[in-house]
Structure 1
Amino acid sequence: MKDMSRRDFMKVVGTAAAGAFLYNAGITGALAQAPVVSAKKVTSQDDGQGSRAKVYFTKHIDAAHLIALYDKINEGIYGKVAVKLHTGEKNGPNILPRDMVKAFMAHVPNSTIVETNTLYKGDRYTTASHRETLQVNGWTFCPVDIMDEEGSVNLPVRGGKHLKEVAMGGHIVNYDSMIVLTHFKGHAMGGYGGSLKNIAIGCASGQVGKRQVHGYLTGPMPPGNGEWAAMPMQDQFMELMADSGKATVDYFGKHIVFLNVLRRMSVDCDCAGVSAAEPKIADLGMMASTDILAIDQASVDMVYDRKSSDKHDLIERIESRHGLHQLQAMRDLKMGNDKYELISID
């Protein structure tokens, strides 16, 4: 593993299937409920003081609208572009539609899907098994870079709560820009997986960085059931994710954007593969922003704004894990603005 020098860094600056074990083992019963945290959703007619981020929204989930959203926020995207998305365990029923992503990738010049290997022993634990899984899941229409295939690179965490640096997939430094294309859904340890989770865990290297993000610095690899059960959870885990996400956000500076797809929102991450619970909440649409906190806050707010009982399971998953603390941790680290203007493009 190599260190990213301050000089190199300034050139650019401007989880898991194991969680399913935690759920099935009954650890959820020990997790306390968290209070609902919600930001003020500002409209264009609002005369309130203070800045607000722009979050673009469409109720449609298709390639044309995904491209239209991206075109609203892509001013800072240039050069060699990393598209970070969750490609999923084998035959996962909820991963993003490949045809939609294929059309999107064709719209973004010089773009590559980027991933990293996993901390848990699943279909993507080694590079060889990861590449086999990519084939099975249909990610064959464009290059896919497993960024930690050749090791890690340390990125600094400026003012982090717990971490001073995080080991990211070494190839991350080969890219000028990043598009964070996220399937927004539940997560067994994080409560929900939004843009933060996508980069905080998804860019960290499988053998080193993901250990740091999970607070698992010593112990066998891959971790066994006992090791997973002993890892930091709730608020500390959310803060570790925020630290890791900040490293990537700071690295790319103005050259990173975020797209959340609120579709097939199971309580389980795409890490769970075919064992993921069937979604109970309706598909809500897609969002885009240059602000990571605003887009995750807006996505959470939209879930909470559902009037029907179909949101119950997803909200229970979020609150039982203290998932809303992700938002507070990002606020504390000044990663974005939780006040936003939701702008429909429909």
Structure 2
Amino acid sequence: MSVNRRQFIKAGSLALGSLAVHSLPLQARPAEEKATVYFTPEITTESLLRIYEKVCAPLQGRIAIKLHTGEPHGPNILPRDMVRALQARIPKSSIVECNVLYPSPRQTTEGHRETLRTNGWTFCPVDIMDADGEVSLPIPGGRHLKEVAVGKNLLNYDSMLVLTHFKGHVMGGFGGSLKNIAIGCASGKTGKAQLHSDGTNLWAGGPLFMERMVEGGKAITTHFKGHMAYINVLRRMSVDCDCAGASAA
């Protein structure tokens, strides 16, 4: 499939550009109030730190930094130097991930840890949250799912910073903060299958997949009760998810 830059930006509704964030959870806002969004056209360590200071107020206690650490040698994942500087600024923080469902070294905890070393995520603790099992979180008002399995270690954190590389995605249209928490926190063995499957097809895409992804995100935001902040970095935006690794189009 050939998608030019203009088509990709239009399809993803990327009106805000390089770094966009909001910190106030939907359930905590009056219906008529819009989220506060901060933007900078600069993609540098300094601008990332400035943006973080704008949105970090809801975070407290042990903080999970959820980002996509990528397939081996993935060319589009966030620069490690930027993330290292940010993580050093956040007390009691760890990068968190979960194992994956699709064929990849990251299907197993051992292979996942090797990939983390390959990609340079060695400067701070990286918690593979489903390494020791999974737990189910309720989905209030879920239409397709009433609960979703997430990595058990998610329960060890009080807050979450959702640090997202914004990009395209074959099944979801684009991968942003929602995918980062819904699919990213779901356990590799169970949760990701719950969100991807429509009951007959494990890799069902389209609107129903997006609805299940919303429900997975609802489980995470409900669990953290507003103690979340979001940063989206619009850099090296491929039309494929970072799951595609070096082959991302």
Using structure 2 for the length normalisation, give the TM-score.
Answer: 0.86
| Alignment-derived partner of residue 232 in structure 1 | 204
Q: Which structure has the bigger radius of gyration? A: 1
Q: Which has the higher contact order (CA 8 A, sep 6+)?
A: 1
Give the match's secondary structure for 2:110.
Answer: helix
Equivalences for residues 96-135 of structure 1 within 5 A: 96-135=78-117
* Distance in 2, Cα, partners of 1:102 & 1:36: 32
Which residue identity does 1:93 align to in structure 2?
Answer: P
| Alignment-derived partner of residue 239 in structure 2 | 267
Give the match's secondary structure for 2:246.
Answer: helix
Shift of 1:216: 6.0
* Distance in 2, Cα, partners of 1:81 & 1:216: 33
Query: Does 2:220 correspond to 1:248?
Result: yes
Whether the aligned pair in 1 keeps the contact of 2:12 and 2:173 (CA below 8 Å) is no
Q: Which runs of 4+ in 1 moved over 3 A?
A: 35-38
Which consecutive residues of structure 2, in runs of 5 or more, have no partner in the other structure?
2-9, 17-30
Which residue identity does 1:124 align to in structure 2?
Answer: R
Shift of 1:161: 2.2
Query: Does 2:67 correspond to 1:85?
Result: yes
| Alignment-derived partner of residue 159 in structure 2 | 177
* Distance in 2, Cα, partners of 1:135 & 1:217: 36
Which residue identity does 1:243 align to in structure 2?
Answer: E
Whether the aligned pair in 2 keeps the contact of 1:211 and 1:217 (CA below 8 Å) is no
Aligned residues: 226
2:58 to 52, 76, 86: 76
* Distance in 1, Cα, partners of 2:176 & 2:41: 18
Using structure 1 for the length normalisation, give the TM-score.
Answer: 0.63
Query: Does 2:230 correspond to 1:258?
Result: yes
Distance change in 2, residues 1:89/1:126 (3 Å): same
| Alignment-derived partner of residue 329 in structure 1 | none
Equivalences for residues 310-321 of structure 1 within 5 A: none
| Alignment-derived partner of residue 182 in structure 2 | 200
Shift of 1:74: 1.1
| Alignment-derived partner of residue 26 in structure 2 | none
* Distance in 2, Cα, partners of 1:271 & 1:140: 20
Query: Does 2:170 correspond to 1:188?
Result: yes
* Distance in 1, Cα, partners of 2:215 & 2:174: 17
Shift of 1:50: 3.1
Distance change in 2, residues 1:275/1:65 (3 Å): same
| Alignment-derived partner of residue 151 in structure 1 | 133
**Cα RMSD over matched residues?**
2.1
Equivalences for residues 205-220 of structure 1 within 5 A: 205-215=187-197
Which consecutive residues of structure 1, in runs of 5 or more, have no partner in the other structure?
1-22, 24-34, 42-48, 219-226, 278-346
Which residue identity does 2:229 align to in structure 1?
Answer: V
Give the match's secondary structure for 1:87.
Answer: coil
Shift of 1:232: 2.3
Deviations 1:217-259 (A, max 9, x none): 68xxxxxxxx65xx32200000010000000011101201110
Which residue identity does 2:226 align to in structure 1?
Answer: K
Which residue identity does 2:78 align to in structure 1?
Answer: L
Which residue identity does 1:194 align to in structure 2?
Answer: G
Shift of 1:129: 0.2
- Name the % identity: 58
Query: Does 2:33 correspond to 1:51?
Result: yes
